[in-house]
Structure formats: structure tokens, C-alpha cells
Structure 1
Amino acid sequence: MAFHYPNGRKFLSKPKEIQNRLPKKMSYSNRGKTLEDDLNETNKYYLANGIAVIHKKPTPIQIVNVHYPKRSAAVIKEAYFKQASTTDYNGVYKGRYIDFEAKETRNTSSFPLKNFHEHQVIHMNNVVSQGGIAFVIIRFSLTDDLYLMEAVHLSSFWQRMKEGGRKSISLTEVIENSWKIPLGFQPRIDYIKVIDLLIKEHE
């Protein structure tokens, strides 16, 4: 089955021969899991333990070619990833609406703003204006450092870029304008603890 991004470029998975050459043993800090994997596991833990109800939003797909080899079976032959309209995750915690985006980079000194889209920044600002909690979780994958940055700070850096300023957020700026999220075991990324601090700070 062929998938296409909104710009028409085909989505290609890693060839099997490349996958077979990947190291089988990985350290605890680099287990081969993406930020999305870790967050999904964390959200499952929150749900199972009655802590919060937060889910990843499904990626909208437009199907353009379906093959019917049998009357009772359909095979999707071609589809396109639609442009996501908002952010990655949303849900409810202690009666408060939670909405956030999750991004990671291999850069070690800054976080490129090209990882975000303007409609995502606008959406998070709208959530905040309605009393919700909106933020981004940023991961520097080479060091496995994670930060939670509130939407208001991301918005200010985005505006700086639009006015001709730098197109990234320096590591120093990330540290000064974010909360560090410590890594754990269960859950792996306990960002709810940071949200508790945010709620206390804004009360």
C-alpha cells in the first residue's frame, strides 16, 4: 500500500536490510523508542491508574484507491496523510482540558522552530484563551533530555521568528522557559507532575 504526504511525496518505511543492521542491544537511555512511544505508554499508565484521560489524536488519512479481491475483503492500495489540523495529544486531568504537541530533535544546542506549524501555535493559543492548559514536550534525543514548555513561551519565540529573528530556540532559552521532565520507569515520562506545578503556579 502506498501512502503519500500532503506535498505528494511518498511515505517510505525503512528497507528490511537496513533494519537488520540496527544494533540489537541498546542502552536504557536509547531504547530505540520514539518520544511518541514513550508518551503513549505513559498515557496508558495514567488511564489504567485513574490519573488522567489523555490520548493521541488519530492522523487523518484520505483513501484514494481501494482494491476488492473478494466481496468480503477490501485492500487499501493508495492513501494520503492529510495535514494535521491541531496538536498530537489532548484529554482531561483534574477537570482541566489538556492539549499538547510533542517534538524531538537530534540537535544539541537548539530546537528548530521548523518542527512546528503556525496553525499548531494558533491552536494552542486558542486553548489557553479558553482556560485550557496547552504546551509542548521537547526532547533532545541525543541526550534524552525532556522539557515541557508552555504555549505562551513557544508563541513568543514563534513571533520573534516571524519578525525576522532566529529560527530556533537556543538550549539556554529552552532551559530558562521550560520545566525539566525527569525520566522514570512507570511512567516513563511523568509530565503530569509538571502540570501539577503549572496549576499551582497559576492559581
Structure 2
Amino acid sequence: MAINYPNGKKFIPADVQQPADKKKKRKKDFSFSNRGKTLEDELNETNDYYLELGHAVIHKKPVPVQIVRVEYPSRSAAVIKEAYFRSPSTTDYNGVWNGKYVDFEAKETENSTSFPLKNIHDHQVHHMAQVRKHEGLAFLIIRFSSLDRYFILSFEAFEVYWNRMMEGGRKSVTLAEIEESGIEIKPGAFPRIDYLPQLYKFL
């Protein structure tokens, strides 16, 4: 007996086999091991690799959160019901490499032609400027996700584009500008984003 929904569409049981051509369309592509990973995931894995081999000690900074209300539905479980950011976070990562303090922001964009500067905040720029004042290494790692391209941009190079925006200029950095003033990092396997060798160019 045929069964229809109220809107007239035919009901098809879940266990009915789909045609082979539709199955092919729904099949996911798992040909790349990094498919679906964010820039943060890739950097965390890279930093773990550096730490294990003794190359550097670099970690993601914890977000400063103030917990206000917690509920305990059972003795062994706690659920945070209310919390707020205590203060604006600075940059994403910091640590020590080769006797130098390292501090950087990681950003990714789906835009294939430019990097929007709205992704960076005033307090982050101020923080990186202070790091450079004390001779630490400050920079950005930018991923163009649609192109699978990665760049490291020193704070000095970035500051030029930031000041241009503050003076009324364009609110983004073109890919061509990043290609010229930044350093491209070719993704690999172990580690995925080998950015440490590029830091020698900043010394």
C-alpha cells in the first residue's frame, strides 16, 4: 500500500536502497588527511610536534573567562550556565624559540583575493607593537582556506597595511601584497605548517 505525506509527497522508507548514481554523489572525499581541519587545529599539531622534538615551547593562549554560574545535575558533572570574558584576549599563541619570545595571531579567510583587516582588533595590534618594542618576535600566520595557501607576515609588514587603513585607505590586504611582503609556508605532513624556519628571516 502506498503511503503519502499530507503534502502529497510519497513516503519512502529509510531502508530502501538509493540508486547507485545518487550514492556516488553523497560519497565523501577523504583523500586529504587535513580535510576539515581549521588553522588552529593545524597549528596546535605543529606546536605539539615542535615541543616533542625540543624545537620550541609554543602554546595557544587560554581565553580569559570568568565563570558566574555553575549547575551540578549530578555529583560527577558540572555544567557552566553563565560566563563572560574578563578582558579582551591579545593574540592566539606565544612561547619561546631559540632564546626569543614568540607571539603571533593566526587568522584564516575564505576570500581568495584579499585578507580583511576587520579580523584584527586594535588591542591586538597594540599588544604586538609592545612585543616588538621589547625585541620579541610578533607576526601573523594567515591561511587562505579556499586556496590552501599559508603565509607568515611580520608585524612590521602588517603594520604598514594597518596604518594605511587607519589613515582612510583600503580595509584589506591584497593577496598580491601578502605574496610580496610575507613569506609563503608550503604545507607538509610532519609538521603540517613548518613556520619556525621562516623566523630566522626576522632576526
TM-score, normalization by structure 1: 0.82
Secondary structure of the residue aligned to 1:32 is: coil
Aligned residues: 178
1:23-48, Cα deviation, whole Å (9 max, x unpaired)? 74344286100000000000000000
> Could you tell me how far apart the structure 1 residues matched to 2:199 and 2:92 are?
17
Structure 1 portions without partners, runs of 5+: 1-21
Q: Which moved more, 1:136-145 or 1:29-38?
A: 29-38
User: How many angstroms does 1:78 deviate by?
Assistant: 2.5
Q: Max radius of gyration: which structure?
A: 2
Please point out which of 117, 135, 142 is paired with 1:138: 142
Q: Is this contact kept in 2: 1:29–1:144, CA < 8 A?
A: no
User: How many angstroms does 1:97 deviate by?
Assistant: 0.4
Aligned position for 1:157? 161
Secondary structure of the residue aligned to 1:28 is: coil
Distance 1:178 1:93, change over 3 A: same
Does residue 125 in structure 1 map to residue 117 in structure 2?
no
TM-score, normalization by structure 2: 0.82
What does 1:10-159 align with in structure 2 at a 5 Å threshold? Answer: 24-28=28-32, 31-70=35-74, 73-159=77-163
Q: Is this contact kept in 2: 1:121–1:154, CA < 8 A?
A: no
Structure 2 portions without partners, runs of 5+: 1-25
User: How many angstroms does 1:69 deviate by?
Assistant: 3.5
Higher relative contact order (CA 8 A, sep 6+): 1
Distance 1:143 1:29, change over 3 A: farther
Secondary structure of the residue aligned to 2:173 is: strand
Q: Is this contact kept in 2: 1:181–1:190, CA < 8 A?
A: yes
User: How many angstroms does 1:85 deviate by?
Assistant: 2.7
> Could you tell me how far apart the structure 1 residues matched to 2:50 and 2:70 are?
38
> Could you tell me how far apart the structure 2 residues matched to 1:145 and 1:198 are?
20
Q: Is this contact kept in 1: 2:63–2:89, CA < 8 A?
A: no
Percentage identity across aligned positions? 58
